[in-house]
Structure 1
Amino acid sequence: MSVNTQLHKDTPLLEVKNLETAFSIDGQYYNAVDNVSFSVKPRQIVGIVGESGCGKSVMSLSIMKLLPKGIGKIKSGSIQFEGVQLEQMSDKEINSIRGKEIAMIFQEPMTSLNPVFSIGFQIQEVLFNHMKISKKEARLKSIALLKSVGISRPEKIIDEYPHQLSGGMRQRVMIAIAIACQPKLLIADEPTTALDVTVQAQILELLKDIQKVNDMSVILITHDLGVVAEMCDEVIVMYAGKVVEKTDVDTLFHDPKHPYTKLLMGAIPRMDEDVEVLSSIKGIVPSLKNMPKVGCKFAARCPQVMPECTSITPLLAETDEGHEVSCLLYPTSRPREGVLHNEYGS
């Protein structure tokens, strides 16, 4: 099965509809991604933000079909890439797309790179899987890829092993592997988390340059709103597996609507304010087993909570054009009369 490369220019490259991804705990499945829908247009950078445990990485693993077998599964919904349903593909079919049409940069390069194989071997493996290419051509292309991601002495680095490189260099290698076949969609899962501030800025700048040069779409998963402001066109805010707010990046920063988004904004250190203690969000994201069955999942931590927030499940709906919010503070998020709540599947 191959993807359709002749779609209309306005058709989303990736479209996720009503996706539910669940994990098995003590023989019962609990939703880590709960009825999530969004799309990514060609050459667009979409940020997915939220605390750890909000379902961001599980979303990316669902798209790539890399959920742990026997533990995680896509319960319902669809993931459509260029007109093809990814969730219905066999392992062989998805392997023809994974790495070639859709690629991913993982959080921690030291655990993502194989310690027993050289850098060159790991780049060339992707090339051999998707291209008809000789060993000599693959080596030359691998050196060119390392050079393109800002690695000096690529002719030497290609024969070294992951443990011989710094964290920043390992992340650059991961990017080189991801872009080896010039994918149309790049998923970057917390690509700068393990790096110091200076290297973070370099990696983000590199990703922006690569995105422009290759006309790629990017899904950038992060908990850092500063990164979102720097990189993204649109933003999806997730909490406890659900989308609570979705809009373009300028609107999100100038007019955040969901209480959770506002608290995330308030936790960003500001250069123009002299405060001794930074703002934080009380409590923690509930575990899958302790997730509220009805009502707003953020209610227990929300400073604007109302009595009905624990009994009525808000809908994700437009408040303004192009700005969707899931909160009972907004009339559009309230279910129609007579429908008090809907069960969160488990």
Structure 2
Amino acid sequence: MPNYRSTKEEPLLEVKNLETGFLIEGEYYNAVDNVSFKVKPKQVIGIVGESGCGKSVMSLSIMQLLPKGTGKVRNGEIKFQGRNIEGLSDKEINKIRGKDVSMIFQEPMTSLNPVFTIGFQLMEVLFNHEKISKREARDRCVKLLKSVGISRAEQIVDEYPHQLSGGMRQRVMIAMAIACQPKLLIADEPTTALDVTVQAQILELLKEIQQVNDMSVILITHDLGVVAEMCDDVIVMYAGKVVESTTVDALFYNPKHPYTKLLMGSIPKLDEEVEELASIKGIVPSLKNMPKQGCRFVDRCPSAMSECRTISPLLAENEPGHEVACLLYESSKPKAEVHT
């Protein structure tokens, strides 16, 4: 397990050596491979990487929302407040999901049921975890909608998802996620489908809610600008593995992994004039084409060496509080793990 920054404070969430796979044509392939990290109370952690890097699969593993029959946590532990919640029964996990741990999904239109009113769907969350009357639940729903910046809350509560804009629907999803005041909120690309102005409003709202409610947040995104604005620490994932982990400041001022450096280089800068933004050649390997040995980034890496194809780098501390998995650094070289 990686040696994460030490703290006297017990982690709220601890993911340890997590492996999540999918059944494809009769064979299991790992989408999340030996991932470990901790989330402390009131901490905001960003998880970044391109599409296909395993970010969303990891969040669904924590929430135990993997597709039954094809998705499976094959190894590892998911501890919430010291209790291993991986493998709990549906009844047991339902007591935690939505109450102690909530999630905001990428696309609110597909997350909200089009045939039920906003109020009905909000009240369903409350009824699932609290014993309250319909009148109390409705009043709570109106307050929740107002708390996320919806001005016509008394009317919106009786409307349907298709009657709302994308930004309004995402605010409803946030209201649903915080209805029972969870200790941990997982936000999976919460602003992807929204225009730039609405994105900024939603991020500001999330930041305010996190601070007011003292929640921990796992923010999954491909946007490093969002990470800089919101997060304390950052985990960079590539092809199912963590390749770098550190504080936000260290990541932006001293990125170490070639993949992280390339991600940084693809961000437009106001003080620089360039004809063409930097890009990362190639694509993330699919589950069926994942390299069996060596570094998974080798075919796209401008710093690749011959040994990168045969030796799998270890995620190890290169500087205090800064972990990286790259053979450019001695700390990541295994003592005796050479594949041939």
After TM superposition, is the score higher than 0.5?
yes
- Please list, as runs of the form range in 1=range in 2, the aligned pairs for 1:232-311 lying within 5 A after superposition: 232-311=231-310
Q: 1:1-346 residue pairs with structure 2 within 5 A? A: 10-336=9-335, 338-341=336-339
Instruction: Find the aligned partners of 1:9 and 1:264 in 2 and give their Cα distance.
Output: 33
Using structure 1 for the length normalisation, give the TM-score: 0.96
Q: CA deviation at 1:84?
A: 1.0
Give the letter for the 1:105 counterpart. I
Q: State the Cα deviation string for residues 199-243 of structure 1 (Å, max 9, x = none).
A: 000000000000011000000000000000000000000000000
* Alignment RMSD (CA, Å): 1.0
Letter in 1 for 2:130: M
Supply the AA of the counterpart residue of 1:232: C
Output the CA distance in 2 between the equivalents of 1:278 and 1:9.
43
- Does the aligned pair in 1 maintain the 2:298–2:308 contact within 8 Å? yes
Number of matched pairs: 334
Unaligned runs of 5+ in 2: 1-6
Q: CA deviation at 1:292?
A: 0.1
Aligned twin of 2:4:
none
Give 1:275 deviation, angstroms.
1.3
Q: CA deviation at 1:83?
A: 1.1
Shift, 1:88, TM fit:
2.6
Do 2:49 and 2:55's aligned partners in 1 also have CA atoms closer than 8 Å?
A: yes
Counterpart code for 1:92: K
User: Is the contact between residue 21 and residue 30 of structure 2 (CA under 8 Å) also seen in structure 1?
Assistant: yes
Q: Deviations over 1:34-85 (max 9, x none)?
A: 0000000000000000000000000000000000000100000000000111
Alpha-carbon shift at residue 9 of structure 1 (Å): 7.3
Q: Secondary structure at the match of 2:218?
A: strand
User: SS in structure 2 opposite 1:37?
Assistant: strand
Query: Partners of 1:282 and 1:18 in 2: how far apart?
Result: 30
Q: Indicate conservation of the 8 Å contact 2:312/2:337, yes or no.
A: no
* In 2, Cα distance between equivalents of 1:100 and 1:339: 43
Identity of aligned residues (%): 77
Give ranges in structure 1 of 5+ residues lacking alignment.
Answer: 1-7
Measured in 1, the distance between the counterparts of 2:339 and 2:61 equals: 27
Q: Distance in 2 between matches of 1:282 and 1:188?
A: 28
Identify if the C-alpha distance between structure 1 residues 94 and 197 changes in structure 2 by more than 3 Å, giving closer, same or farther.
Answer: same
TM-score (norm: length of structure 2): 0.97
Runs of 4+ off more than 2 Å: none
Q: For residues 93 and 84 of structure 1, what CA distance do their matches in structure 2 show?
A: 12
CA distance in 1, matches of 2:272, 2:115: 49
Q: Distance in 2 between matches of 1:204 and 1:39?
A: 23
Counterparts of 1:164 and 1:294 in 2: how far apart (Å)?
Answer: 51
Q: Give the C-alpha shift of residue 86 in structure 1.
A: 1.0
Inter-partner Cα distance in structure 1 for 2:260 and 2:128: 42
Q: How far apart, in 2, do the equivalents of 1:208 and 1:172 lie?
A: 13
Q: Would the alpha carbon gap of residues 271 and 68 (structure 1) be closer, same or farther in structure 2, given more than 3 Å must change? A: same
Once the two structures are superposed, what CA deviation does each residue of 1:125-144 show, in whole Å capped at 9, x if it has no partner?
00000001000000000000
SS at match of 1:76: strand
CA–CA separation in structure 1 for the residues paired with 2:8 and 2:107: 35
* Residues 40 and 341 of structure 1, relative CA distance in 2, 3 Å threshold: farther
Question: What is the one-letter code of the residue matched to 1:234?
Answer: D
Retained in 1: the 8 A contact 2:148–2:175? Answer: yes
Question: Retained in 1: the 8 A contact 2:48–2:237?
Answer: yes
Secondary structure in 2 matching 1:88: coil
Q: Helix, strand or coil: the match of 2:61?
A: helix
CA gap of 1:196–1:290, structure 2 versus 1, over 3 A, is same
**Residue deviations 1:264-298 (CA, integer Å, cap 9, x gap):** 00000110111121111000000000000000000
CA distance in 2, matches of 1:205, 1:124: 25
**What is the letter of the counterpart of residue 43 of structure 1?**
K
**SS of corresponding position for 2:86:** helix
